Amino acid sequence: MAEVNNVAVKPIKKSIIEVFMSGAKKGFYIGVEQILPAMILGYVIIQFLKLTGLIDVLSVVFNPIMGVFGLPGESIVVIISAFFSKAAGAASAANLYGEGVLTAAQCTILVMPCMLMGTLVGHFARIILVANVNPKHRGLMLAVPIIDSIVGMIVMRLILLATGLM
């Protein structure tokens, strides 16, 4: 009980060390509660596609489309996972990099859609609906992340080509 009283009397101002440590703790929980589940999702999706052989089908079908961005057909899996969660998209890309399917430069391009159109549905509720955007504009809102991703992938590819990193 004495401790509780102390906390109440003390000014709320924390030292920088305390801020750092509570931030690191927060980061740990972000890792365990948000990244870890998404990573397991991303890796299970890929494993499922590999065991069923579907990944080869997807690769052939999407090769022409993904080729526009300098990516192999398999990277459609990254886009699909990112649609559910940004971190799952990143996890799928990291997995495909480990398999030698994607290069480091291609992974850099894929950060753009993983971020910009990641968690598309979840964030529609969290941002567009919470901000109470005019219902007439909501279709347009849904198109923005997708257009952003396309522009982002093209620009990133050009930057990598121009700097010789790809």
Partner 1 sequence: MTDTKQVEEKVTIKGWIALIVLCLMFSGVFKDFDGPLKALDFLNLSGAFGKIGETSHTFIGSGGAGAKEGFVQALSLIPSVAFAVAMIDVVTELGAMKAAVKLFNPILKPMLGIPGECGISFVATFTSSDVGSVMTKEMYDKEEITDKQRSIFAAYQYAGSAVILNTINTQAALLPIVVLAIGPIIVLLFLCKVFGANLVRFVLTLKEKKAGGK
Window 118 to 137, contacts with partner 1 (CB under 8 A): 118-119, 123-124, 126-128, 130-134, 137
Distance CA 14, CA 84 (A): 37
Cβ atoms within 10 A of the Cβ of 159, count?
Answer: 13
Positions 85 through 124 that interact with partner 1 (CB under 8 A): 85-87, 89-91, 93-95, 97, 104-105, 107-108, 110-112, 114-119, 123-124
| Sign of the C-alpha dihedral computed for residues 33, 35, 40 and 41 taken in this order | positive
Q: Which is nearer to partner 1, 62 or 82 (CB)?
A: 82
Distance CA 137, CA 77 (A): 30
- The secondary structure of residue 103, as a DSSP letter, is -
Report in angstroms how near the CB of residue 157 gets to partner 1 at its nearest: 11
Q: Which of 2-10, 54-62, 65-73, 84-92 is the region at the interface with partner 1 (rule: CB under 8 A)?
A: 84-92
Positions 25 through 64 that interact with partner 1 (CB under 8 A): 25-28, 30-32, 34-36, 38-44, 47, 50
Question: Is the distance from CB of 160 to CB of 108 less than 8 angstroms?
Answer: yes
